[in-house]
Structure 1
Amino acid sequence: MKKDALPPCADARPVKHETHGISRQDDYGWLRADNWQEVMRDPSTLDADIRAYLEAENAYQEAQMAPTKELQDTLFSEMRGRIKEDDSSVPSPDGPYAYGMKYETGGQQPIVFRTPRDGGKETILLHGDKEAEGKSYFRIGGAGHSPDHKLIAWAYDDKGSEFFSLRLRDSETGKDLDYSIEDTAGGGVFCADSKFIFYIRLDDNHRPSKLFRHEIGTDPAKDVLIYEEKDSGFFMGVGKTQSGETILIDIHDHETSEVWMIPADKPTSDPVLIAPRETGIEYSIDDHGDTLYILTNADDAEDFKIVTAPKKAPGRDNWTDLVAHKPGCLILSHCVYKTFMTRLEREDGLPRIVIRRLVDNVEHSIAFDEEAYSLGMGGGYEFATDTIRFTYSSMTTPSQTFDYNVETRARVLRKEQEVPSGHDASDYVTRRLMAPAADGETVPVSLLYRKDTKLDGSAPLLLYGYGSYGITIPASFNTNCLSLVDRGFVYAIAHIRGGKDKGFRWYKDGRRENKKNTFTDFIAAADHLVAQSFTSHDRIVAQGGSAGGMLMGAVANLAPEKFGGIIAEVPFVDVLATMLDDTLPLTPPEWPEWGNPIADKAAYEYIASYSPYDNVEAKDYPAILAVAGLTDPRVTYWEPAKWVARLRATKTGDALLMLKTNMDAGHGGASGRFDRLKEVALNQAFSLMVAGKA
């Protein structure tokens, strides 16, 4: 690193705030642009002082990492070399066609195609690289075909702000209709006869608040408002059951659901409520003829159960148990086909697929034997089928796509992830450890390392964590981490509380008033890895993004001596100020996850006690790389900017502190599949530098 380069120093412009009679001072609140909504749509409108600071931080970061430029290029080449550039998905059948996605050699964006099932010529429906030409950022937000196969509804975002433009394309001519629908959430759902499409529009604060019905070929200004969610604390989505018979309007926050349905063959009919929202009750819907199949946690089914109800009388009084609640066995999703139902569930931290024959309710399951693995499945397009498709991988095993016949139980491997530069799974070891937490819980930790790595405490280790919203980080194959592992790193995932790795209870024990368990679990994982001689504390690089970035900020404050470096990507570090600002896109829907500090003094005090920005202290911190996106609507750019500014003004010691803001992207970073690898290469170069291997 360059010792002679001086870091930027943000002006301290103190502003005092008082809530519940408690006063706090914010020296760097000025980094939040007053016109942030406008900046999301047009980044050029950013205040000049703010832009100057962000660009100065970018220049400093580039100067500090300049000595690793050759290493970054090497890492990028390695990671790109593990990608099959002309890769293609296994096409999914639907009526006369099979639909798929592929990439061209050198291409950054996906290409959507279809082929006739009778063996005819392939048709390109959407060529992402051509659509992205001339744009510094471009992301496709979904592409779906109409039931009559004549139209493609596709959406794109060219700012990174996740305001999607929705277009309708003639699948025969390849030309879009002469209008677009702006400010949508991306994608849409066609009715049965393909004459209407339902879509969600975002308001100025980026909230998905209105569902519209659009008649194909008419002026979008005449679109009909079907449903408006006036409670800013709820998200809204639109979908369709596997049968295609029912359009679903899904209203939810992080703990409560409400679903309305519209018959797909009667798109102009009024929505029908299935069950009114009750705080803490979640449910999701599939159907089969006149029967609804409902996945729910009602009636104290903490790990969820499946019930049925008649479509004509869908209220909770008419729910009948089909798959009983089993404590510790979390049902993640379900899907109903013509003759069977599938469900994906997790027990003891490992997933399995269960198939249930509808005629007699006989069940069997699909599972695997490795210590840690990832299993996933999608609904496909067809309802009348005997075949499901699922994917399997582990930290050593590249992703495999199987077709599985539920009657014969025959499993056919349709695709195996190719690693062009070569991969021998026998060179690597994957393990699962259980790290003891202070309160008696045990935290699962998934590990990957080379067989020849010395486990004597000298190996550097990258410890990844998330731990929020019930999201489970799978122990899946990741070609990118091999660049670190092949250089002697141990790669570890801490399955901490706040996820659902050990059931719904694991999630509850890591949110709201239990949030600090997430942080102490991560520290416990680090301690256990050191105790088991996998590494030493000064050789651990911790990494997390978004809410996982908040985790990074929290453990940096709580136990800075236990980490040699920290990578915080789009980190949610200004938790208190954000949860106090109900004008921000995600704040009201997030209150069930974090608590509402506006209405609840206890919630205010608890959040204030761990919010990373509010707990920066004058002490030595490990080396830190923070990454932001200027147009990020989820974790706004000013959170990491404020955090770094306060750290730089407050911390002691000379450990490296850097902020990189992507001025052309949002929450997910660069949009192209190769451009994203350059950001990964920067993270890895930082990790190697911290470990003394750069």
Structure 2
Amino acid sequence: MSEPLDTIAAEPPIAARKPSQTTIHGVTLHDDYAWLRDPNWREAMLDPDKLDADIRAYLEAENAYTDAAMADTTELQAELVAEMRARIAEVDASVPTPDGDYVYYLRFREGGQHPIFCRAPRASDGGAAPGEPLAGEQTLLDGDAEAEGRAYFSLGAVDHSPDHAKLAFALDDRGSEAYTIHVRAIDPHGASGDEIQPPIDNTTGNVAWSADGNTLFYVTLDDNHRPCRVWRLTLGEPPANATLIYEESDPGFFVGLGETQSARYLLIHAHDHATSETRFIPAANPEATPRLIAERVPGREYSVDDDNGEYFVLLTNAGDAEDFRLMRAPVATPDFDHWEELVPHVPGRLILDHAEFAHHRVRMERADALPRIVITDKHSGEDHAIAFADEAYSLGMAAGYEYDTTTLRFLYSAPHTPDETFDYDMHTRERILRKQRQVPSGFDPAQYIVRRLTAETADGQHVPITLTHHKNTPIDGSAPCLLHGYGAYGISEPAAFSSTRFSLIDRGFVHAIAHIRGGKERGYRWYADGKLEKKPNTFADFVRVAEYLCETGYTAPGKIAAHGGSAGGMLVGAVVNQRPELFGAAIADVPFVDALNTMLDDTLPLTPPEWPEWGNPRDDAQAFETIRSYCPYQNVSAQDYPAVLTIAGVSDPRVTYWEPAKWVARLRATKTDNRTLLLKTHMAAGHGGLPGRFAALEETGLIFAFLLKELTASID
């Protein structure tokens, strides 16, 4: 259990109180810690060395205190990291993906933190041992070599041109998610060669190619870190010569790039969290003016693929299709008046994604909180689903580069089943296992029990729970439990395999995922019932799951650790305010805990696009009251709290570093217990934390050691 703070060598830092206040809708908000927001935060986000000296001193003092408080777990952390690393295949490779005369893949060398991007002749696919180079391999990009000497390194898109002669890649060396695009020539007989394009700064990191590979499209960020401008650049020209082909004027909308599966059309998406519209450009005619498919209508969403160049196929909620349907429209006349139905809307069956191939249509859908893949033969019209037997599982599809193919690649895993990659023949229905993730230290699925449970809420809803525990773990209320949740943006938590969590499960923890409202596990309505004025349902669902796990003997009050990141960190902050006695510990990873102040400030990154998710408290008094009612920072009170570990990043553009810093400062000044309260701020990283497949384990080791220290009798 946690030690009283006075037994820890270092004293906790106490943030200075500098009172400030804001009055809105007749309510005065008091904020003693607003000074932790650097007035020059934009510069500090891009260059953490520019962070205000007093703020830096406070964050570094918190880091030193965290190090001191966790010093007695140093050996345990090292043991956990070594254990988790032993479950990772150091020499590893993805299944090669065919494109024309080549197959493209990535692999890792022993000890390598970052992927090596490679290609080989198509005929060599399947001719090498797992993780080993294929015959005739060319190294296109060596991530480890690119990362050398950089304090931070993260790759965005790595995308070869249609003529296979060039490679575009994007990198972020600050953690701010502002990527620089580079383009290199690919020597047909060797590695990638010289850069053939001056670097393009301040982009989203995604690119699109014209059909001939001579024109590049990309999106840049504005001063508020909003992707809003699409550019066309002839390869080799300086970025100053790029042509602006689309600019989004609505500050609530983001812009993105894509292409159809056939690669006939490049797509420009504009969207917020409730509305979207798409423009297209023929890839063979990059100089063409982007053409609108259907204008934006508030609340209408659609995404686009093309069917043999004759029709666009649209996944949409148009026509009150809450759980979406598939429609099509002629490419020549794609406006809404010409849309006709292909796959009808079925309430409770949420269509998540779709892909068009020459002879088959594929859709990913979810029903009864589980995913499935449905394939339609375009000639016969016959549908069939790819079936799975597990009680809980995760499923994804990888459409690949090719259009005229009968092969669909999909990825399958379950909490006790390491990832499996299959190639599926959509015509013969034969499935071939191409790869199963290896766990070098050994893994026996028979040692674990996976359950799909449901907890009934006070308003009659049934919240799915994915539960994993060792078969020898007693179900008598004595086990500690790590309860994870997210519940926002319609993002569903997959029941997927994670090798790291077994370091807790093998030590007696029950691992649970609460599939709460705000995600789409039970259809779009599940999402709608956890956003805007119904956001409190998200927190009530999580609390109800915690209670249910106690009632059924999987754990007990005070033995549960609440865990969530970003919007899931808001969840953690809200539930420990509301029901602190249920939880013995809380992990808040880059937590969105100062939601009210952030949603009131339209100068912050991403705020206007977030209003459809949370509400606009500037203009809407009811939205103001709703957010104020649950905002973790606003609702810290003089009560006992569980032990808390909070993680932040100075370069984070999504949840700015001062949100968790202010929350921890107010908690420390207000709470009535002496349980551990720690803040770990990455001074040169952002929302994703530490980059690299092994470096990231250091943070997981810290989190797991914290949980073992707080929720078990010893740290042995």
What range is the shorter-chain TM-score in? over 0.9
Alignment-mate amino acid for residue 12 of structure 2: P
Residue 118 of structure 1 aligns to a residue whose secondary structure is helix
1:405-484 alignment runs, 5 A limit: 405-484=425-504
Q: What are the residue-to-residue correspondences of 1:146-545 with 2, within 5 Å?
A: 146-172=161-187, 173-177=192-196, 179-288=198-307, 289-545=309-565
Q: Distance in 2 between matches of 1:177 and 1:287?
A: 32
Matched residue type, 1:480: T
Q: How many residues end up aligned between the 2 structures? A: 694
User: Are 1:145 and 2:164 matched, yes or no?
Assistant: no
What CA distance in whole angstroms lies between the structure 2 residues aligned with 1:304 and 1:581? 33
Structure 1 counterpart SS, 2:501: helix
In structure 1, runs of 5+ residues without a counterpart are none
Give, in whole Å, the separation in 2 of the partners of 1:482 and 1:64: 25
Match of 1:9 in 2: 14
Does structure 2 conserve the Cα–Cα contact (< 8 Å) formed by 1:435 and 1:442?
yes
2:145 aligned counterpart, secondary structure: helix
- Counterpart in the other structure of 1:102: 107
Q: 1:153·1:187 contact (CA, 8 Å) conserved in 2? A: no
Alignment counterpart, residue 643 of structure 2, candidates 623, 628, 650: 623
Deviation of 1:363 (Å)? 0.6
| Residue-by-residue CA offset, 1:327-368 (whole Å, 9 max, x unaligned) | 000000000000011000000001100000111211100121
Cross-structure match for 2:46: 41
Residue 551 in structure 1 maps to residue 571 in structure 2: yes
One-letter amino acid matched to 2:118: F
Contact 2:119–2:140 (CA under 8 A) maintained in structure 1: yes
In structure 2, the residue matched to 1:32 is 37
2:213 and 2:596 mapped to 1: Cα distance? Answer: 46
Matched, 1:86 2:91: yes
Q: How many angstroms apart in 1 are the aligned matches of 2:223 and 2:71? A: 40
Q: 1:131 — aligned with what?
A: 146
Distance 2:10 2:273 in 1: 45
Q: Which residue of 1 aligns with 2:630?
A: 610
Q: Does the Cα contact within 8 Å between 1:351 and 1:367 map onto a contact in 2?
A: no
C-alpha distance in structure 1 between counterparts of 2:709 and 2:531, whole Å = 34
SS in 2 for 1:506: helix
| Structure 1 residue 177 displacement after superposition | 2.1
Report the counterpart of residue 130 of structure 2 in structure 1: none
Distance 1:207 1:4 in 2: 44
- Measured in 2, the distance between the counterparts of 1:151 and 1:18 equals 56
- Once structures 1 and 2 are overlaid, which stretch shifts more, 211-220 or 415-424? 211-220
> What are the ranges of 5 or more consecutive residues in structure 2 without an aligned counterpart?
125-134
Q: Specify the alignment match of 1:122 in structure 2.
A: 137
CA distance, structure 2, for counterparts of residue 257 and residue 429 of structure 1: 42
Aligned amino acid, residue 249 of structure 1: I
CA contact (8 A) 2:648 2:660 kept: yes
SS of alignment partner, residue 512 of structure 2: strand
CA distance in 1, matches of 2:549, 2:47: 46
Matched residue of 1:521: which SS?
A: helix
Name the aligned partner's letter for residue 205 of structure 2.
Answer: G
Identity %: 55
Query: How large is the Cα RMSD of the aligned pairs?
Result: 0.8
Compute the displacement of 1:18 (Å): 1.1
Following superposition, the deviation at residue 30 of structure 1 comes to: 0.6
> Secondary structure in 1 aligned to 2:286?
coil
What displacement does 1:490 show?
A: 0.5
Letter of the 2:97 counterpart: S
Deviation digits for residues 87-141 of structure 1 (CA, Å, limit 9, x no counterpart):
1000100000000011110000111000111335000000000000011110001
User: In the TM superposition, what whole-angstrom CA distance separates every residue of 1:494-532 from its partner, at most 9, and x where no partner exists?
Assistant: 000000000000000000000000001000000000000
Stretch moving more, 331-340 or 114-123: 114-123
Residue deviations 1:303-349 (CA, integer Å, cap 9, x gap): 00000100111111111000000000000000000001100000000
Q: Which residue of structure 1 lines up, in the alignment, with residue 676 of structure 2?
A: 656
1:60 paired with 2:65, answer yes
CA distance in 2, matches of 1:248, 1:225: 15
1:178, distance to aligned residue in structure 2 (A): 5.2
SS at 2:587 equivalent: strand
Deviation at 1:4, TM superposition (A): 4.5
- Contact 1:518–1:551 at 8 Å: present in 2 too? yes
Q: Which residue of 1 aligns with 2:129?
A: none
Quote the offset at 1:493 in angstroms.
0.3
Q: For 1:314 and 1:339, how far apart are their aligned partners in 2?
A: 22
- Counterpart-to-counterpart distance in 1, 2:152 and 2:9: 34
Q: Is the 8 A contact 2:198 2:237 kept in 1?
A: no
Does the Cα contact within 8 Å between 1:330 and 1:346 map onto a contact in 2? yes
Could you say what secondary structure the match of 2:576 adopts?
A: helix
Query: Offset of 1:407 from its aligned partner?
Result: 0.7
